Structure 1
């Protein structure tokens, strides 16, 4: 499990002298991910969701991947060990027709299931919720490159200023029966807690599945979920 130290997730500085092995300047948030709390819905192989959250130097590896099961929809819930501000998302998908057609990003939603994601994502972009993430997707990535190479996709920082968790919803692939993702990473900065703030704030280190009653697919037989409504 990754841990934050001194509010920096293991990265108090941006210079290379303080970067951990396997991490580059473009992978500063790898250590801020709470890997024990990662949940994937409609995954073909149980536990494969967390395996695509790789160190930066493994971004091109195809040894591990997340692939959908019942159809081409996926939800990947990624909690952080604290609050982060996101600037871009790094991604490696494919091959070819298994590339996601779009990826919709939901901020601070631990109750997202396929019914809600399909309903909210169908709303027009003009109705997209403001920063804070409650409700509609904070941003829709509608031009996912069809390539086997890792790519970096800019995000709108104003929509991701205080992110404690992010959910990736893949509504469909570009043409395949399933969707596949090899690598997901984030670029941004960790937000340190104010010293004068409340001292009794508790962050959930490892969300228990029984605490997420609204998340479909986390119980036994999870791979049966994910069919578009």
Structure 2
């Protein structure tokens, strides 16, 4: 399993809860290459990929993943293309099996627990969140262009095993994101041909 000798020196950030119409959308599940998702230390083979549900089914507690011999779980999540990740949500149980700390690694395919001693791209201290109301923002500088994400659940709230019902990812497929930026950039430019009839005659005559 992962080495627990490395230090965690990142301070816990204040994470606001969101509800109602202000809830974030976690729609990146459609861009996950689900056939290639792997979960290490899951007690039931294939259970880990089932926590990547559409947002509307995140309250479904019939499907979940539980760790096997200790509290750690390691998810390897390939995408069908390059994505921009901006946040995530995790739902666990109301007891000590809920994840308490995660470590995120970008673009390191087929990670094993022995690889987890390297510096993570981001570490997050979690709240117990059985309803999925807490949004955890991801660093834009780290996750602006990602084709593979690894999520290590490094600690829970005290139980021997960890249980996860839902992991939601917020962001955009890079093609869609770049297309919107290109359109916005184009529309923000003043096109002279669109304003040729608005140029005062006085200014036009002064050019000759």
Tell me the TM-score normalized by structure 2.
Answer: 0.70
Contact kept? 1:95, 1:180, Cα under 8 Å: no
Runs of 4 or more, structure 1, over 2 Å off, are none
SS in 2 for 1:169: strand
Point out where structure 2 has 5 or more consecutive residues left out of the alignment: 1-22, 179-208
Question: Which residue pairs with 2:154 in the alignment?
Answer: 171
Which of the pair is proportionally richer in helix? 2
3-state SS of 1:115 partner = helix
Select the structure that is richer in strand.
2
SS at match of 2:96: helix
Q: Distance in 2 between matches of 1:25 and 1:184?
A: 13
Q: Check conservation: 2:53, 2:166, Cα contact below 8 A.
A: yes
Q: Which has the larger radius of gyration?
A: 2
Equivalent-residue separation in structure 1 for 2:26 and 2:110 (angstroms): 27
C-alpha separation in 2, matches of 1:48 and 1:95: 20
Using the TM superposition, give the Cα deviation of residue 25 of structure 1 relative to its aligned residue in structure 2, in angstroms: 7.3
SS of the residue corresponding to residue 102 of structure 1 reads strand
Write the deviation string for residues 104-152 of structure 1: whole angstroms up to 9, x where unpaired.
00101113211221x22xxxxxxxxxxxxxxx2110012x111311132
State whether structure 2 residue 72 is matched by structure 1 residue 67: no
> Which segments of 5 or more consecutive residues in structure 1 lack a partner in the other structure?
1-23, 121-135, 195-229
2:164 alignment partner in structure 1? 181
Residues 172-208 of structure 1: per-residue CA shift (max 9 Å, x gap) = 21100001110011111111299xxxxxxxxxxxxxx
Q: Which residue of 2 aligns with 1:26?
A: 25
* SS at structure 2 position matched to 1:171: strand
1:137 pairs with 2:155: no
Distance 1:25 1:98 in 2: 25
Distance in 2 (alpha carbons) for counterparts of 1:50 and 1:28 = 15
How far off is 1:95 after superposition?
A: 2.9
TM-score (norm 1): 0.64
